[in-house]
Structure 1
Amino acid sequence: MLSIQKIINFSVTVFAVTLFFGCQSNFKEIQRINVSEFMASGEADSVNLKYTDSGKIKAILVSPKMMDYGTVLYPFTEFPNGIEVTLFDQNGKKNFIKSDYAITFKGTDIIDMQGNVKMTAEGGQYLETEQLYYDQKNEWFFTEKKFKFTDPYKGETKGDGLDFSKDFKRINFQKVSGVINEAE
């Protein structure tokens, strides 16, 4: 025969298991209620944006897809399928940049380009890295990632981290190695 102690232990176990599964079901429902949809407030395909200042084109941005998250707490614009950017300086010289992904947070004037970032300048300079930031306001580029920078006159430089002006006149290298040709 079952003793009273075994009956009480069995009853408590059954009650605890029932309570556990009942709470788990309610917990999942509460999680579902508290999840807010994180959806883009705007979406565009085949984007071709031209940025002008005083009637002059300063930049052209081309992307297969642009998603705008302007209604979230920290608004941003995302280019999930990459971008191609052409930057123009005051003399009309161009820099070309391509990346697999890009994002810009509103109010920062900084574009974060990621994945197979390649930059080519009309002067022959070429940069490869996995991530490159562009400060639009100061016209300044920077990265802390590994990079390979090639200048047709000064040689090839590799390292971790660099920053430079849009026209490549000022370049700050960090943790570098490579062969740099001296100016003649």
Structure 2
Amino acid sequence: MKIKNSHIIKNLVTAIVVTLFFSCNNDFSEVQKIGVLQNQPIGEAENIDLKYTEFKEDTVRLVANLISPKMLDYSNRNFAFNEFPDGVVLYVFDDKKNKTTITSNYAIVYSETDIIDLRGNVQIATHEKDTLFTEQLYYNQKLEWLFTNEPWLFGSLHGIGFDSDKEFKNFKMLEMGGEFQIDN
């Protein structure tokens, strides 16, 4: 009886394996399409107008307002990020409701590291009418720290590379002077 049962089980397993083997029929072009889809954004948004608020002591305060024509969401990647291929305008408000305006032609926000990478005609205009110009600027949201290795212009100062807190009170230049052109 044992020999008969083992023979039935072998035949059943063989039939399942053969069925699985012949049912697999992948077209290489279909496999390639799957790879392309994994590189596509998981979501797209147009005409974004996001408002970030803070709730303190029974009061709601507007902290920032992000405006962008387009956002691509790549949170499906191992190193998740949001891309703003058509640029951003960001208004940041301090506790006294003073507004700082940040603009760039392109931006990426990395979710895991809280780093914002601003590129192309980056400008930061403070409420005190001071304006920083550069072609690329990084902002660490956790540390509230700005940095670049690119040429920059801030008021009458210009140089190549700097590190600073968000209020430009702890400002360190990497190199004073250098050539700088503002694109129109």
* Band the TM-score falls in, shorter-chain normalisation: 0.7 to 0.9
Root-mean-square deviation (Å) = 1.9
Partner of 2:145: 140
Partner of 1:172: 172
| Length-normalised TM-score, structure 1 | 0.73
Partner of 2:73: 68
Alignment length, in residue pairs? 145
| Length-normalised TM-score, structure 2 | 0.73
Whole-Å separation in 2 of the counterparts to 1:56 and 1:97: 19
Conserved 8 A contact 2:87-2:104: yes
Alignment CA distance shift 1:138-1:90 (3 Å): farther
Deviation at residue 34 of structure 1 after TM alignment: 4.8
Whole-Å separation in 2 of the counterparts to 1:65 and 1:45: 4
Partner of 1:53: 54
1:19-98 maps to which residues of 2 (within 5 A)? 33-34=31-32, 36-37=35-36, 38-54=39-55, 55-98=60-103
Conserved 8 A contact 1:144-1:160: yes
Whole-Å separation in 2 of the counterparts to 1:97 and 1:81: 14
Deviation at residue 157 of structure 1 after TM alignment: 1.1
Structure 2 unaligned residues grouped into runs of 5+: 1-26, 179-184
Conserved 8 A contact 1:89-1:167: no
Whole-Å separation in 1 of the counterparts to 2:164 and 2:99: 15
Structure 1 unaligned residues grouped into runs of 5+: 1-28, 151-155, 179-184
Deviations 1:105-151 (A, max 9, x none): 1121111000010111011211110001112222221111111111x
Whole-Å separation in 1 of the counterparts to 2:157 and 2:67: 29
Conserved 8 A contact 1:158-1:176: yes
Identity rate, percent: 39
Partner of 2:24: none
Moved over 4 A (4+): 29-32
Alignment CA distance shift 1:33-1:121 (3 Å): same
Whole-Å separation in 1 of the counterparts to 2:29 and 2:151: 41
